[in-house]
Amino acid sequence: MSELAREAIVLNMGPHHPSTHGVLRLMVELEGEVILRAEPVIGYLHTGFEKEMETRTYHQNIVFPPRIEYLATMIEEHAYVLAVEKLLGIRPPRRAEIIRIILAELSRIASHLVWLGTSAIDVNVTSLLMYCFNDRERILDLFEAVSGQRMMHGYMRIGGLQWDIPEEFPARVREVVEEIPRRLEEYERLLSDNLIWRQRTEGVAVLTRQDALRYGCTGPIGRGSGLNYDVRKAFPYGGYEEYDFDVPLGRRGDAYDRYLVRMEEMRQSCRIIRQALDRLEPGPVLIDDRKVALPPRRELVRSMEAVIHQFKLVSEGIHPPPGQVYAAVESPRGEKGYFVVSDGSNRPVRVRVRAPSFHNLQALPVMLFRNYVADVVVAIASIDIVLGDVDR
């Protein structure tokens, strides 16, 4: 080894590499195949949503959140709507809250299924992608039954929901929720004790609890490192305090622990959905405040008041009191927050999206230090980044 010169080479991974889950470019400095330094380069998917949201009214902005993080769409809408509701100081009716929780948890399962399929394909378990997308399609069918859209729903409204769920919806959800844990067991049989899977993920991309805290990593990344922080438990929103569920924690903070945490999270989501279905009771799904929500159609033919309210809402929008609020939800990637600043007019002065992937990606160089090149792919997969969420 002595007469051979050791020198570091710089390797660009991405932005077209299939394992970068979008458009991420990684500049990796290598010595042999050991990583000395890694620097993520982002911004290839920067769309300018925050600027865009300053030029629309609060109601028009509902279409943007699902396009920011396009895998967990309902959770995203939930976050934005909660922020505006907090600004107005209102709470939606109970039935709307329960339906929102059902949809948000279904969204979490769908997102984790995509993560499972794509991270499996990153270590060449190709068949799993098909199974996972098959299951996810069933969940998207449920969303379509509710909102008419597979992915970009625009179903939640400030103060409730667009309309009520169809009659047969709870039965269909129950069917899916019964089915999914059985499927998950099958996938775990395929992966958990699989020698290749374990060797590729155990001890790879280790993040200590201390580092997770310092870099603000939340969600399965932080919990995989043993950081006991779940927004649903710490700062309950939208009625989550009534539900009984556990928060899985990892110990070693490697990619395998994150996999276990996410698998357990899906089961807990099924548990929450079952409880929510039992609590479903008839009632209104939109708040009865004419300054916030549109009046029902049947009133428009009878009452002049309703026509005026509708006209005001459509032509101007709502006028929240001046102030700034921050509302966060637990997305599949961590803490998703919306920081909304209002000056009392019908448009927000500033909408800031607190993107969990952005923070988690920042810790990637820490995770990769002294790992091998082949582990980069596993590390990116275990973070479960969505580049739309990173770049906004």
Partner 1 sequence: MTDRREEVAQAFRGLAEEEVRFRDELTLLVSRDSIRDALVRARDLGFLMLTDLTAVDRHPAEPRFEVVYLLTALDPPARLRLAMRLPGGDPTVPTAVEVYPGANWLEREVYDMFGIRFLGHPDLKRILMPDDWEGHPLRKDYPLVEEPVQFFGHTPKPPSAIIPRTPPRKD
Give the interface with partner 1 as residue ranges (CB under 8 A).
Answer: 42-43, 46, 48, 50-52, 55-57, 60, 86-87, 89, 213-216, 227-229, 234-235, 315-317, 319, 322-326, 328, 335, 337, 339, 341, 343-347, 349-350, 352, 354, 358-359, 362, 391-392
Minimum distance from residue 338 beta carbon to partner 1 (Å): 10
Say how many Å lie between the first and final Cα of the chain, rounded.
47
Give least dist CB 347 to partner 1, A.
6
**CA 83, 108, 231: angle at the middle one, nearest 5?**
50
* Cβ nearer to partner 1, comparing 152 with 341: 341
Q: Which is nearer to partner 1, 270 or 361 (CB)?
A: 361
Of the pair 190, 341, the CB lying nearest partner 1 is at 341
**Closer CB to partner 1, 165 or 205, in the complex:** 205
- Shortest distance, CB of residue 285 to partner 1, whole angstroms? 24
Please report how close the Cβ of residue 147 comes to partner 1 at its closest, in angstroms: 22
The widest CA-to-CA distance across the chain, in whole angstroms, is 93
Sort 129 into a burial class: Cβ within 10 Å, 0-12 / 13-18 / 19+: middle
Q: How far is the CB of 349 from partner 1 (least distance, A)?
A: 7
Taking the C-alpha atoms of residue 211 and residue 42, their distance in angstroms, rounded to an integer, is 21
Cβ neighbours of residue 234 closer than 8 Å, sequence gap 6 or more: none
**From CA 274, how far away is CA 260, in angstroms rounded?**
22
Is the distance from CB of 66 to CB of 154 less than 8 angstroms? yes
Which of residues 124 and 315 has its CB atom nearest to partner 1 in the complex?
315
| Cβ atoms of 75 and 103 closer than 8 Å | no
Residue pointed to by tokens 């929450």: 272
